[in-house]
Amino acid sequence: MPERKGRPNLGPAAADQNRSALVSAARRIYARHGHEVPFNTIAKEAGVGQGSLYRHFPNRIALAMAVFEENFLELEELAREHAADPRCFELVFARLVRQCVDSLGFIGIIASAGRDFPLDATIGRLAAVLTGPLDRAQREGLLRDTLTIDDLLLILRMLYGTLSHGVPGDAGPTVLAQRVLDLVGLPVRVADPPPG
Amino acid sequence: MPERKGRPNLGPAAADQNRSALVSAARRIYARHGHEVPFNTIAKEAGVGQGSLYRHFPNRIALAMAVFEENFLELEELAREHAADPRCFELVFARLVRQCVDSLGFIGIIASAGRDFPLDATIGRLAAVLTGPLDRAQREGLLRDTLTIDDLLLILRMLYGTLSHGVPGDAGPTVLAQRVLDLVGLPVRVADPPPG
Amino acid sequence: MPERKGRPNLGPAAADQNRSALVSAARRIYARHGHEVPFNTIAKEAGVGQGSLYRHFPNRIALAMAVFEENFLELEELAREHAADPRCFELVFARLVRQCVDSLGFIGIIASAGRDFPLDATIGRLAAVLTGPLDRAQREGLLRDTLTIDDLLLILRMLYGTLSHGVPGDAGPTVLAQRVLDLVGLPVRVADPPPG
Amino acid sequence: MPERKGRPNLGPAAADQNRSALVSAARRIYARHGHEVPFNTIAKEAGVGQGSLYRHFPNRIALAMAVFEENFLELEELAREHAADPRCFELVFARLVRQCVDSLGFIGIIASAGRDFPLDATIGRLAAVLTGPLDRAQREGLLRDTLTIDDLLLILRMLYGTLSHGVPGDAGPTVLAQRVLDLVGLPVRVADPPPG
DNA sequence: GATGAATGAGCGTTCATTCAT
DNA sequence: TATGAATGAACGCTCATTCAT
Domain-embedded: residue D195: no
Q: Residue D95: phi, psi to the nearest 5?
A: -65, -40
Domain-embedded: residue C194: no
Which of D106, D123, D156, D167 to mutate against chain C (most C CBs within 10 Å)? Answer: D167
Domain-embedded: residue A156: yes
- CA-nearest residue of chain D to C161? D161
Angle, vertex CA A109, rays to CA A105 and CA A115, nearest 5: 155
Instruction: Tell whether B154 and B106 lie within a shared domain.
Output: yes
Residue C111 contacts D, CB cutoff 8 Å: yes
Mean pLDDT of C154-172: 90
Domain-embedded: residue C113: yes
For C32, half-sphere exposure in the C-beta direction (CA atoms, 13 angstrom radius) is 9
Structure-model confidence comparison of residues B14 and D56, the more confident one: D56
Quote the pLDDT of residue B114.
Answer: 84
B47-51, B114-118, C162-166, D127-131: least confident range = B114-118
Question: Straight-line distance from CA C37 to C1' E14, in Å?
Answer: 16
Quote the pLDDT of residue D171.
Answer: 83
Instruction: Tell me the C-alpha distance between B97 and B104, whole Å.
Output: 10
Instruction: Tell me the C-alpha distance between B166 and A76, whole Å.
Output: 27
- Determine C/B contact with 3+ CB pairs under 8 A as the test: no
Helices (H) and strands (E) in chain C, counts: 9, 0
pLDDT in tens, chain D (196 residues): 333 444 555 555 678 899 999 999 999 999 999 999 999 999 999 999 999 999 999 999 999 999 999 999 999 999 999 999 999 999 999 999 999 999 999 999 999 888 888 899 999 999 999 999 999 999 999 999 999 999 999 999 999 999 999 887 788 899 999 999 999 999 999 977 766 5
Instruction: Tell me the C-alpha distance between C175 and C180, whole Å.
Output: 9
Quote the pLDDT of residue C6.
Answer: 47
List chain F nucleotides near protein: any atom < 7 Å from a Cβ.
1-21
| pLDDT averaged over every residue in chain B | 91
Instruction: Tell whether D67 and D102 lie within a shared domain.
Output: yes
Closest Cα partner for C185 from D146, D141, D175, D172?
A: D146
Instruction: Tell whether B73 and B45 lie within a shared domain.
Output: no
**How many inter-chain contacts (C to D, CB under 8 Å) are there?**
62
Is pLDDT above 70 for B4?
no
Residue A165 contacts B, CB cutoff 8 Å: yes
- CA-nearest residue of chain D to C158? D162
pLDDT bracket for residue C30 (50, 70, 90): very high
Closest-CA distance of chain A to residue B112, Å: 7
Domain enclosing residue C50, as ranges: 12-56
> Are C84 and C175 contacting, i.e. CB atoms less than 8 angstroms apart?
no
List chain E nucleotides near protein: any atom < 7 Å from a Cβ.
1-21
Mean pLDDT of B57-82: 96
Looking at chain B, the whole-number percentage of residues with pLDDT higher than 70 is 91
* Nucleotide closest to residue B53 (CA–C1'): F6
Q: Is the CB of C54 under 7 A from strand E?
A: yes
Mean pLDDT of C128-145: 96
pLDDT bracket for residue A95 (50, 70, 90): very high
Instruction: Tell whether D41 and D135 lie within a shared domain.
Output: no
Provide the angle, in degrees to the nearest 10, between the axes of the packed helices B88-102 and B104-111. 80
Q: Is the CB of D51 under 7 A from strand F?
A: yes
Of the residues D19, D39, D56, which one is the last residue of a structural domain?
Answer: D56
Three-state DSSP state, B96: helix
Quote the pLDDT of residue D2.
Answer: 39
Instruction: Tell whether D92 and D52 lie within a shared domain.
Output: no
Q: What CATH number corresponds to the domain at position C45?
A: 1.10.10
pLDDT in tens, A115-161: 888 899 999 999 999 999 999 999 999 999 999 999 999 999 999 99
Instruction: Tell me the C-alpha distance between A86 and B108, whole Å.
Output: 41
B125-129, B150-154, C31-35, D191-195: least confident range = D191-195
| pLDDT averaged over every residue in chain C | 91
Instruction: Tell whether A109 and A69 lie within a shared domain.
Output: yes
pLDDT in tens, C82-110: 999 999 999 999 999 999 999 999 999 99
Instruction: Tell whether C162 and C92 lie within a shared domain.
Output: yes
> Are C148 and C75 contacting, i.e. CB atoms less than 8 angstroms apart?
no
Closest residue, CA to C1' of E8: C2
Residue C148 contacts D, CB cutoff 8 Å: no
Amino acid C182 reads: D
Which of C158, C160, C186 to mutate against chain D (most D CBs within 10 Å)? Answer: C158
Instruction: Tell whether D131 and D150 lie within a shared domain.
Output: yes
Instruction: Tell whether B97 and B47 lie within a shared domain.
Output: no
Domain-embedded: residue B142: yes
Quote the pLDDT of residue A168.
Answer: 74
Instruction: Tell whether D132 and D149 lie within a shared domain.
Output: yes
Q: What CATH number corresponds to the domain at position A22?
A: 1.10.10.60
DSSP structural state of residue A184: T
Domain-embedded: residue B194: no
Domain-embedded: residue D117: yes
Domain-embedded: residue C193: no
Mean pLDDT of A58-83: 96
Instruction: Tell me the C-alpha distance between A79 and D193, whole Å.
Output: 87
Is pLDDT above 90 for C191?
no
Instruction: Tell me the C-alpha distance between C108 and B2, whole Å.
Output: 30
Nearest residue, CB atoms, B111 vs list A119, A154, A165: A165
Instruction: Tell whether A84 and A169 lie within a shared domain.
Output: yes
Quote the pLDDT of residue D179.
Answer: 97
Count of domains observed in chain A: 2
Instruction: Tell whether A52 and A66 lie within a shared domain.
Output: no
